[in-house]
Structure formats: structure tokens, C-alpha cells
Structure 1
Amino acid sequence: MPSPTFNWTELIDDICAGTWISPLTGKRYPAAPYDKIVFAETLKGREADLVSSLGFEGPFAVVCDPATFKAMGARVAKALRGIGEVTEIVLDHPHADMATVRDLQERLKPFPTAVAVGSGSINDLTKFATLQNGRRYCVFATAGSMNGYTSSTASITLDSGLKVSLPAQVPAGFFVDLDVCAAAPAWLNAAGFGDCLCRSVAQIDWWMSHRLLGTMYRHEPYLIEIPDEIRLMEQARGIAAGDIEAIGTLFRVLTLCGLGINFTGVSNHGSMGEHQISHYIDCFAGERHPGSTHGQQVGVTTLTMARLQEHFLSREQAPEVGPTQIDEADMARRMGPEVAAQCAEYYRKKAFDQKAADAFNERIGNLWPELRDECIEMRVGPQRLAKYLEAAGGSITAEALGIPVEFYREAVSHAHEMRDRFSFADIACDSGVLKQLASAEG
């Protein structure tokens, strides 16, 4: 157990203050747009002071769902009644979609600010709705279930059914009561662990895309995250047990991953091929969706992407691609015409014609020995990743999550069609082996 003086937000404070200096470049980055990030073993009795320290004044809107209201929302609302009028907005099993955004946006119009109490959907809905209203918000975490608390994007399902990352806003304040979060259902914190697990596969995809296609890449997000990630993997069993120190490390990694956007302006450093598979599941499973969360799915899809990358990285010979085959009729059958048209537009941005495929093959052929070594240095093997995830209490197969195996294989085979981010799944598709590799997953 950390000492009472343990500084949970060490490094995080420097990044937020703009005093962190990159050891790679010697560059000092602008302050991150957060007024206050506070982790403590307990925040009981401090809720009103934390909110008012942001300049927030009543009337207050406290946004939560039934579970997060019970976990901490009622306590926050009671504390805020000491300094102003409070309205509790309890969303019943909310989904982070545009219909719910519009409803919440309307309900929040009378309030100068909003106080979210919850994790994934509650945070995404509140950060996006308040941005549309021109208001600020803060968030009290109730579980370490995802890395979007400090992200400036929100994962929202459009009216068409396509799930995308939309520009949103960061919270003015992010507050973590570790006692509350450690008492959350163990599978929620294991989901957050799964969301953290993807760093190595996302980094390999992003670096490969940078080296071969010249897309933007920044190493700073990994500089700030990896030391804590190593500690987190060592503490995996503590996640399952609700150990305060392990939960604190989990929140540090989740927060640092979100803060990585401060250096990049995009989420690529923690969202590549593995997230595309999870998004496909959320968008197209329909009644086949078992109710698994984003983080749970990313844990499993990370293992899939790690195996897919290993297929190529275990070979000395460079992959060779052909022209990208975009079957828009099949996309429409699986996705519906409107979403398929949106996805095809993204897909075409990274598609190869014969000339582009030839140029890519020449480049990867020349770079492969060096690029392969670079990717292997970043790599964490799939067996090792699975061991960590299982120790943290996470499911390691789609079947264990309740996702039908055949549908999961469809997601692995086609998720790369949804975005213009280039991953090893694209190489697998354009080299003709993706469906074969997908057939082993599930």
C-alpha cells in the first residue's frame, strides 16, 4: 500500500502544467487543457470543494446512470447541495449515440456546467453534449473501465449506426476516488486493463504506417505511458482483487494514455487495428451483441491483432500486397447501404491500385529487415498479453464474452474497412491472408 503522501498524479501534474520536457527533443509542450486532476484513496468530504475550485456554480446538474448514482452519484449530489441547487439526471442504461446526446443536450441547457459521475457512456455523452451547449463539465470516475476520461474525443454512434470518434472536450476536472473505483465490479476494472493492453499492438500498427506510408507518428505518448504500463502488468492480479495500489496504477495508465492526445491531436497512439475490430462489433452485431463493453472487447481484439502481427513479424520475407478489392455490394449487405457508403469513402483513402501496390511492395521490401526489427522491439507477444489479461480478470476470447464466433471472425475480416487508419489488418487483407487468419480467431 502506498504511503499517505504518495503522489498519484506525479508526471500527470507536470503535463497539465506544461512543465514536462520531452527527453527526445528537449521541447516543452503547452499546458494540457485541464484545471485539475485529483486521485486520492478517498475524496469523501471534498466533492463540493473540488467542483467549486473549478469555478463551477449552481444550479448543478449531476449526470449518472442508476449504477453510478448508487456508487457515487448520490454522494456527490448531496455534497453539492451544500453550495447550490442540484438536479440529478439519471440516464437509464444510456448508449453513447446521437439520439441520447440530443436528449442530454436539451436537459443540460438550463445549467451553466455539468458534473458527470460515471465512466464510458456517461463521460462520452456529457463531454459531447456540453461541448454542443458551450458549457464546461467535470467528471468523478466510478471505475477504471476505459481510457477516455482525459481524451478530447468521444466515441459516439451516429444516426446511421456508424460508431466514430468525434471531437469533444476534456473535463475541466477529473476526480478519482480510489476506494470507490476499487469497489466497482471487478470486470469493469478488468475492462480498463484491456483498454490499456493494446498499447503495443497500436504502436506497431502506427509505426508501420508511418514508416511505409509517411503518416504522422509521435513517440511522446509512449514515453509518458510505458513505465507505468510495465508496473501495471506486474500488478495485474491486483486489478482482479480490487487492490488500491493496482487500481491507482491502472488510473495512471488510463490517464496518461488520454493525455497522449495532447501531443498528437489524434487517438492513433492507443487506437488502431484492435479498436477497429471492437467498433465493428458495436456497429454491426445488432441482436448478436452480448452487452460486452468497449474495454472488454479491446482486450480480446488486442490478442487477435497481436497474433495477426506475429504472422508477419515472424517471417524474414516482407509481405507483398496486391490492389485493394473494395466490394461495396458486400459492405452494403453487412453494414447497410448508408453506413457502407460512409465506410467505403474512408476505405478508398488508403486503398491501393496496382501502381500504389507496386510502390508499396518496393518500399516494404527495402525496409522490411529494419522495420521488422523495430516492430519486434515494440512487441509484447500474444501469449504474454493473454496471461496478463487473464490475471486481471478479463476474458481472453470472443466466445467467453458471448460474441458469436462466426460474427467475430467477420469483424476481424472486415473491420479495417471502417477507417482510413492503416494497420497490419490492411496488409493481411491486401496480401490475401486475412480471412485465413481470422478463421483461427474466436
Structure 2
Amino acid sequence: MIDDIIDGKWKHPDTGKAADVDYDRVVIDESLDGREAELVAAMNLGERVAIVADEATYAALGERVENAIARLKPDLIVLDHPHADVKALDDLADRLSEHTGAIAVGSGTINDLTKYVVGRDGRPYCVFGTAASMNGYTSSTASITLESGLKTSLPSTAPKGFFADLTVMAEAPTFTRAAGFGDCMARSTAQIDWWMAHRLTGSDYQQIAYDIEWNDEVELNKRAAGVGAGDIEAMGYLTRVLTLCGLGIAFTGVSNHGSMGEHQISHYIDCFMGEAHPGTLHGQQVGVASLTLARLQQQILSREEPPHIMPTLIDYDDMVRRMGRRIADDCLAEFQKKALDEAGASTMNERLRKVWPELRRECLAFAIPVAEMERLLKAAKGATTAEELGIPAGFYREAIIHNREMRNRFSLLDIAADAGLLADFAEGEA
């Protein structure tokens, strides 16, 4: 399916249209040792190529790639403990300014930095993944922390090629595999959030993003313990699901299918925990947050009567206290787009009363039961509580309550908050 989507052979079943993709090739195999030069040559990266890595990813795979393409005389750029922020972007932009193309060797940060820098002027790049830790390898967005400190997804470019050596990925630290699996667990909660937003606000929803990854998700979940153990077959399914989630954007144009309330909680942690941040990966946090969202969704969807919505309360002074004025102003502009006034709350309540029985059934059909999600995450050696991540309960509860202020994506968190249910729910999470 991945090859057919990229080649334009797999058509949207409703529209008959092929995906709009920039990729030339995705290769997922047990080993790519000895194939690196062939894979890079097919990317047409130009006359002057750079390899971008950090110390760990260079040791894991970068040196092998460098030796394999030695005849191209690539320039090597090894970043020192990089963060995907504006400062690192500016530094990498300077170092890549004379290059016609780039090869990223790494996962989240390395991939995001490289794709955004070369994407600004349309230069090509490819990526050799070193860990199955996130679903952004094939996405056309980059997750970047702005000068204000706000972390956001910016339009970028997809790689010409994504190459996954499953042996290298299986040998990466266990927590990286758990992070990728945690990102996959978000499917259930994100789908409920996105569908509920569609039914209640009339916003867009596209089932196609879930359909293309469903069969692989089923097979992946059967092999959750294999993810934890670094089993090659399990790593293959994990990498396929992560790849297909990224490819979903080629059909939908947005990341909503894999990133709703659970990702907002993780973004809040990354933006506002500061020096106290335990260094956990985004996907690890998403796994825990997905369990939190699943519990909240289950609690609300178990009600025979719909929640009663009140106008959205916005405490700007409190936002400034927690975020700083610059970020608070950015977030306020987004938050106000989905905030409900008296008329909006009345309309929402009327809509909820009309569709609630049907909406409950629809959403529950998308759900993975909370106990099953927890079992799967544990089998994959992922954390299931904020305490296991090293995040204090008080801050995690703050993230649950206030993450919805960060972006204009209506989710069940907004329903719970505007119904006066979210703060009490958060008290039970740790």
C-alpha cells in the first residue's frame, strides 16, 4: 500500500483521487546495509550534499552512510545535542546554505530541522531513520519551538525518500520504540476527538487517514510485546503504522487524524515545564496522555444525557502567569477562535441534545478500551502514568486543564471544560 500510494496507484475510494505526495521512495527493510549508495543516488540531491546527524545518530547509522557515499564527498554536519528551535534552524541554515541537498540521519529533531531548512527554498532531502520514535518521517510539517517558546507545527516539505533499517531501529533505546508506539496509541483518542468536532461544529473529518493504516494497526497491536523486545517483525509494523499516519496528511492536508487532545497535553508539557522537564520524548508523553484522554472520553460517553455546555471562560491574566505574555497572546488568538459565547453555548447544547445517543455509539466504535490501551503500552515497555515519566502530578494536571488554550482544535477537552467537568477529572490523574 505504501508503494502504491507513493506511485499514485492507490486512489481515494470516495473521490478516486491519488494522494498528493512529494516522496519518490519509502524503503522499510530488515537491513539496508550495503544499499545506502543506491538509495541516495536515486534521490537526485545535486552536486553538493550534506549529511546532518547528531553524535548518537552518527554512531548508529551516519558513519555507515557517510562511508557508503564517500565518492560524493559529502559534507558532514554533526549537531551538538540539538533542539528543534529557531536558534538551531538559523545555525543549520547557515551550514547548509551552499548545499544542493541534504541527508538527515536521525529521528524527530534531526528530521524536523533538516526538512524545514531545505524546505524553505525547495531543496531536496532524504532521511535515514534511526529510531521508530515518531510519525513525522513522512509528514509535510515540522515541529518547531518558536522564539516565544511556543512549540508548533509549521508547513514544510516531505522527504524525497524515507529509509528505515529495522535492525538499527530495533537496537535504539527501548524508550524510543515505546515513544513510537505511544504515538500510535493516539489513533483512538484522536479519532474520537476529530469525529466529535466534526459532528458538533461541522468541521472537516476524513476517514481515509484511518482506513489506510487500520490493517497494520491491528497487526502492530498483536505484537506490542515485540515492540518492547525489539523484535524485527514488530518493528516493521510499528514503522509502517508511523509511516502511514504521516502519509495520511497527503490525503487530508492536516494532522488532526493523529494529533488532537492527547498531543496538546504533550505540547503543553514541552512548552511550559522548562528546566524541570525530565527529557522524555514527545511520543512517550503522548502515550500517557492518550490514556488520560481515553478515561475522560469513556467517562463522558458513558453518560445517558449529554454534558451541559456553558460559555467558555478565558482567564487571560492566568494565561500570562503560566505562559508569559508573548506566548499567552499567541495562544489567546487561537483559543478565541473556538471559544463559545452565550449563543455558541446554546447552539452547542441544542446540537448535543439532538445527536447525543447516535454520537455516543459512533465514538465508542472508534475506541480502544482503556484497560486494553494500558495493557498494550505496558507490553511495549511504555510509561502509563505521569509519575513514571518523571512529571509531577500537579504540573500534569495543569497540562490537562490548560492545554486546550494552545491551539484552535476543538476536542472533548473543550466539551469537558465548558461543562465544568475537566478540573475535577484532572484531580484523579497523576
Q: Do they fold alike, i.e. is TM over 0.5?
A: yes
- 3-state DSSP of counterpart to 1:421: coil
Aligned positions of 1:373-384 closer than 5 A? 373-384=361-372
Amino acid at match of 1:179: T
Structure 1 position 177 matched with structure 2 position 165: yes
Amino acid at match of 1:321: I
Instruction: Judge conservation of contact 1:19–1:28 (CA < 8 Å) in 2.
Output: no
Amino acid at match of 2:49: F
The structure 1 segments of at least 4 consecutive aligned residues displaced by more than 6 Å after TM superposition are none
Q: In structure 2, what is the Cα distance between the partners aligned to 1:147 and 1:247?
A: 13
Q: Residue 8 of structure 2 corresponds to which residue in structure 1? A: 18
Aligned positions of 1:122-161 closer than 5 A? 122-161=110-149
Q: Residue 438 of structure 1 corresponds to which residue in structure 2? A: 426
- How far apart are 1:26 and its partner, in Å? 5.7
- 3-state DSSP of counterpart to 2:212: helix
Q: In structure 2, what is the Cα distance between the partners aligned to 1:398 and 1:190?
A: 15
Q: Residue 7 of structure 1 corresponds to which residue in structure 2? A: none
Structure 1 position 62 matched with structure 2 position 51: yes
Instruction: Judge conservation of contact 1:224–1:256 (CA < 8 Å) in 2.
Output: yes
Q: In structure 2, what is the Cα distance between the partners aligned to 1:308 and 1:419?
A: 19
Q: Residue 39 of structure 2 corresponds to which residue in structure 1? A: 50
Instruction: Report how many aligned residue pairs link the two structures.
Output: 430
Corresponding residue to 1:281 among 269, 289, 304? 269
- 3-state DSSP of counterpart to 2:257: helix
Q: Residue 353 of structure 1 corresponds to which residue in structure 2? A: 341
- 3-state DSSP of counterpart to 1:304: helix
Instruction: Judge conservation of contact 2:198–2:205 (CA < 8 Å) in 1.
Output: yes
Structure 1 position 112 matched with structure 2 position 100: yes
Instruction: Judge conservation of contact 1:109–1:133 (CA < 8 Å) in 2.
Output: no
Instruction: Judge conservation of contact 2:20–2:251 (CA < 8 Å) in 1.
Output: no
Tell which deviates more after alignment, 268-277 or 180-189.
180-189
Structure 1 position 410 matched with structure 2 position 406: no
* CA distances 1:241-261 after superposition (whole Å, capped 9, x unpaired): 111000000000000000000
Structure 1 position 255 matched with structure 2 position 243: yes
Please report the TM-score for the alignment, with normalisation by the length of structure 2. 0.99
Structure 1 position 331 matched with structure 2 position 319: yes
* CA distances 1:342-390 after superposition (whole Å, capped 9, x unpaired): 1011000000101110010000111000001000111111111011001
Instruction: Judge conservation of contact 2:12–2:19 (CA < 8 Å) in 1.
Output: no
- How far apart are 1:85 and its partner, in Å? 1.3
Q: In structure 1, what is the Cα distance between the partners aligned to 2:283 and 2:124?
A: 26
Amino acid at match of 2:65: V
Q: In structure 2, what is the Cα distance between the partners aligned to 1:99 and 1:123?
A: 16
- How far apart are 1:187 and its partner, in Å? 1.2
Q: Residue 79 of structure 1 corresponds to which residue in structure 2? A: 68
Amino acid at match of 1:53: A
Q: In structure 2, what is the Cα distance between the partners aligned to 1:283 and 1:350?
A: 21
Instruction: Judge conservation of contact 1:58–1:86 (CA < 8 Å) in 2.
Output: no
Instruction: Judge conservation of contact 2:189–2:293 (CA < 8 Å) in 1.
Output: yes
- How far apart are 1:132 and its partner, in Å? 2.0
Instruction: Judge conservation of contact 1:17–1:31 (CA < 8 Å) in 2.
Output: no
Instruction: Judge conservation of contact 1:80–1:86 (CA < 8 Å) in 2.
Output: yes
- How far apart are 1:182 and its partner, in Å? 1.0
Aligned positions of 1:235-314 closer than 5 A? 235-314=223-302
- How far apart are 1:423 and its partner, in Å? 0.5
* CA distances 1:177-220 after superposition (whole Å, capped 9, x unpaired): 11111111111111100001100100000000000000011000
- How far apart are 1:22 and its partner, in Å? 3.3
Q: In structure 2, what is the Cα distance between the partners aligned to 1:311 and 1:205?
A: 14
Tell which deviates more after alignment, 196-205 or 179-188.
179-188
Please report the TM-score for the alignment, with normalisation by the length of structure 1. 0.96
Tell which deviates more after alignment, 418-427 or 84-93.
84-93
Q: Residue 343 of structure 1 corresponds to which residue in structure 2? A: 331
- 3-state DSSP of counterpart to 2:360: helix
- How far apart are 1:30 and its partner, in Å? 3.9
Corresponding residue to 1:397 among 364, 373, 385? 385
Gaps of 5+ in 1: 1-10
- 3-state DSSP of counterpart to 2:305: coil
Amino acid at match of 1:262: A
Q: Identity of paired residues, percent?
A: 56
Instruction: Judge conservation of contact 2:54–2:79 (CA < 8 Å) in 1.
Output: yes
Amino acid at match of 2:297: Q
Q: In structure 2, what is the Cα distance between the partners aligned to 1:65 and 1:436?
A: 43
Corresponding residue to 2:178 among 190, 201, 210? 190
Q: In structure 1, what is the Cα distance between the partners aligned to 2:121 and 2:12?
A: 35
Instruction: Judge conservation of contact 1:288–1:404 (CA < 8 Å) in 2.
Output: no
Amino acid at match of 2:64: R
Instruction: Judge conservation of contact 1:105–1:133 (CA < 8 Å) in 2.
Output: no
Q: In structure 2, what is the Cα distance between the partners aligned to 1:379 and 1:115?
A: 38
- How far apart are 1:41 and its partner, in Å? 1.1
- 3-state DSSP of counterpart to 1:32: coil
Q: Residue 6 of structure 1 corresponds to which residue in structure 2? A: none
Cα separation, partners in 2 of 1:58 and 1:80, compared to 1, 3 Å: farther
- 3-state DSSP of counterpart to 2:120: helix
* CA distances 1:144-197 after superposition (whole Å, capped 9, x unpaired): 000000000011000000000100100001001111111111111111000011
Q: Residue 207 of structure 2 corresponds to which residue in structure 1? A: 219
Amino acid at match of 1:13: D
Amino acid at match of 1:329: D
Corresponding residue to 2:16 among 1, 4, 27? 27
Q: In structure 1, what is the Cα distance between the partners aligned to 2:161 and 2:220?
A: 24
Gaps of 5+ in 2: none
